[in-house]
Amino acid sequence: MYSQGLIGADTTTEETEEFLAAFQARIDREEKIEPNDPMPAAYRKTLIRQIGQHAHSEIVGMLPEGNWITRAPSLRRKLALLAKVQDEGGHGLYLYSAAETLGVSREQMTEELLAGKAKYSSIFNYPTPTWADIGAIGWLVDGAAIMNQVPLCRCSFGPYARAMVRICREESFHQRQGYELMMTLAKGTPEQKEMAQDALNRWWWPSLMMFGPSDSDSSHSDQSMKWKIKRFSNDELRQKFVDATVPQAELIGLTMPDPDLRWNEAKNGGQGGYDFGAIDWDEFWRVVKGGGPMNRDRIAARQKAWDDGAWVRDAALAHAEKRRARAASATLEAAE
Amino acid sequence: MSTQHMPLWEVFIRPRNGLHHKHVGSIHAPDDEMALQAARDVYTRREEGNSIWVVRSNDIVASDPDKAAENFDPAGEKVYRHPSFYDIPDEVGHM
Ligand SMILES: [Fe+2]
Ligand SMILES: [Fe+2]
């Protein structure tokens, strides 16, 4: 009791006005909230949803890249890709364990993902038809994820913040190996360069969508900022990502697929920044709601992994039970 | 879906000799042996430590968070437990 094993525990709190004010005051003082602390039901629910979605994204995110492990063009690239995909699996597990401290079970989260009730990042519903997609994912998708995740290291909920610190430490290699891969292709034969440009063309806009709807259309944003779960708005983070990434493309001779992209001196309070074209939000919502090119495949792959693993989980539990029983009867015999 | 929940374990890692084991997170595993293996795979991919402890979450005995004030606040009043409470001449130097 009172450790982090809160699964199934009674977590209700009486939410008087004084309680809510005191809770907000703790947040405003930058105090961290830990699993056993009283918290508003909506704070708990928001975090379970967000951390769960984040965990699912890491796990589903293994699929598009996993697609290329057997076909990596060199041992060096294969080692990097294997290590990266394994890291993403680890990230999913750190995050599931953080979500579980809020009282939700792993089984429940898995069930919601497989039933299509829990979301994951829309970016993983795009296919990876060429090797250059592996470069584009590392550079852009992990790059966008880093932009999102660095401020989450200061999230008000302790277990989430700590998981994010571990994750951020591991992400930088993901982005660098992707950028290096793109750079190598861009410096290669005309066909290789074209392959890199084609991947950039397909991944750029979906990467911008990773930051979520515009601030004017984002339903959860305000309250999450007040609770210091989020520190920057979707549009602020998206702008930072564009400003950081455009020069990286120029440096390796690739072109962003956006005719409206241009430097604007007046942006970011006079520091300058890039204006960019309109995002196709219809596409975003279509993909989030299950209409992306790979939504069905991704869930089918997760379902298959879960089903195929059932006998392993059952056997492992049975084996553990047998060992326990044997150890118990050995102690009994020794006592006789 | 398996009806039985896979047990939850808390993971502690010692970064190197000379330091304490420190809580790093949790994992699910059917038994102690597999818990250690899973903890190694999940939490030590980059030389994070040289020793792992795993303990069933249910076996941890923890203080009641509602009694945090009565348990821990009294120490705050015991200023005489700190060196700065005692006045000694500056000439003594570091003590
Ligand atoms: Fe990740
Ligand atoms: Fe990553």
Q: Does pLDDT of B4 surpass 80?
A: no
Helix (H) / strand (E) containing A325: helix A310-335
Total structural domains within chain B? 1
With tokens 């409206």, the residue in question is A260
Considering chain B, what is the average pLDDT of its residues?
A: 92
- For residue B77, being part of any structural domain is answered with yes
Q: Which of A80, A336, A7, A50 is nearest to A221 (CA)?
A: A50
pLDDT given for residue A332 in this prediction: 84
| 10-residue stretch averages of pLDDT, chain A, 336 residues long | 55 85 97 94 96 97 96 97 97 96 94 94 95 98 96 97 95 96 98 98 98 84 92 95 98 98 94 96 92 93 96 94 92 82
Asked if residues A134 and A64 have their Cβ atoms less than 8 Å apart, the reply is no
Handedness of CA A46, A48, A49, A53 (dihedral sign): positive
Residue among B2, B25, B29 whose CB faces A97 most closely: B25
pLDDT given for residue A81 in this prediction: 97
pLDDT given for residue B55 in this prediction: 97
Q: What's the complex ipTM? A: 0.87
- The ligand placed nearest to the CA atom of residue A60 is 1
Measured in angstroms, the CA of A14 and the nearest CA of chain B are apart by 14
Asked if residues A121 and A204 have their Cβ atoms less than 8 Å apart, the reply is no
- For residue B66, being part of any structural domain is answered with yes
pLDDT given for residue A43 in this prediction: 97
Do the chains contact at B6 and A163, CB–CB below 8 Å?
Answer: no
pLDDT given for residue A1 in this prediction: 42
- For residue B56, being part of any structural domain is answered with yes
Q: Which of A40, A21, A41 is nearest to A29 (CA)?
A: A21
pLDDT tens, residue by residue, B29-74: 999 999 999 999 999 999 999 999 999 999 999 998 889 899 999 9
Q: In CATH, what number is assigned to the domain containing residue B10?
A: 3.10.20.520
Is residue A10 within 8 angstroms of chain B, CB to CB?
A: no
Range of the domain at B47: 3-89
Residue among A2, A5, A93 whose CB faces B27 most closely: A93
Q: How far is the CA of A174 from the centre of ligand 1 (A)?
A: 8
Residue among B5, B25, B65 whose CB faces A2 most closely: B65
- For residue B63, being part of any structural domain is answered with yes
Cα A99 to Cα A52: distance, rounded to the nearest angstrom: 6
Q: Kindly state the tokens that stand for A304.
A: 């298959």
Measured in angstroms, the CA of A323 and the nearest CA of chain B are apart by 9
- For residue B95, being part of any structural domain is answered with no
